[in-house]
Amino acid sequence: CFTFDHCLLTRKGRMSSAMELPTGGFVFENTQRNEWMASNANMSKMPTTKKTGTTIAGIVFKDGVVLGADTRATAGSVVADKNCEKIHYLAPNIFCCGAGTSADCDHVTEMMSNNLSLHRLNTGKECRVVTAVNMLAQMLFRYQGHIGTALVIGGVDVDGPHLFTVWPHGSIDQLPFVTMGSGSLAAMSVFESEYQDNLQREQARDLVRGAIGAGISNDLGSGSNCDITIITRDGVERFRNIDRMGDKWRSAAGFNVPKGTTDYYNEVIKNVVVEDAAAPPML
């Protein structure tokens, strides 16, 4: 018989060899657990996926790629950061916009940036955009969507400008213009109505600014400012807070309310005398 060192206890409670080869395929044992939790446990509602807010977009123009993003980070219904940075560095010729869980986006992009640096050192060549996309997609697919990272990846390599989207489950799209995030529908409406082939640099930049502005104006999860990154063969140009759209409204007359504006029934005024005394003993 096997000793404990050579055995393991599976989820169903049976003993099997640690050297046993996997049978392959997906495991759906948790579906029975979830059904039991929904019917028997004291849970009025099963947990749902967390909704996040962002507007990110990208577009391919004649000489390169333009990426854009808003700068609002939310924690539920609270604005946690009004000026965060959602456009991340991957390589000198590749950048990406992140939507989803902030920690997941930051750590995934930082890890991929390090991996691409090692790739450049090993090969001695500039990374291709499709290399970064495949590495990200393979990593996210392994986690089956539990890493909340949706990315718009743009860059220019030896094959020209490229623009991709990578979804949390690992699926990939390659299109001339893309949007992601909760404000993506408003941003896409701008792209679909005004996009043209072979746009010039300034036209593409202004179109992305308009798309991000539409997302900020029509989505509560997006807001504050607009960041733009332009990638060409000649280099990268970054515009931080190129548009400021989320300033608070302030009345020109001010909010000075005179005394007596609000009626009240009675008023009690008491004088409070504070005397110095020895501090109570500590228990």
Catalytic residue list contains 54: yes
Element (H, E) at 268: none
Is the CA virtual torsion 245, 248, 249, 250 positive or negative? negative
Angle subtended by helix axes 201-218 and 184-194, to nearest 10? 140
CA gap 119, 208 in Å, rounded: 31
> At a CB cut-off of 8 Å and minimum separation 6, what does 140 contact?
108, 147, 149, 166, 167, 168, 169, 170
CA gap 113, 94 in Å, rounded: 9
CA gap 208, 92 in Å, rounded: 21
CA gap 5, 61 in Å, rounded: 60
The answer to whether 216 touches 87, Cβ cutoff 8 Å, is no
Count Cβ neighbours within 10 Å for each residue of 24-57 and write b for 16 or more, e otherwise. eeeeeeeeeeeeeeeeeeeeeeeeeeeebbbbbb
**What beta strand segments (E) does 31-109 contain?**
56-60, 64-70, 73-75, 78-81, 87-91, 94-100
Indicate which residue of 3, 31, 54, 123 is catalytic. 54
Q: By CB neighbour count within 10 A (0-12 exposed, 13-18 middle, 19+ buried), where does 101 fall?
A: middle
Indicate which residues carry an active-site annotation.
54
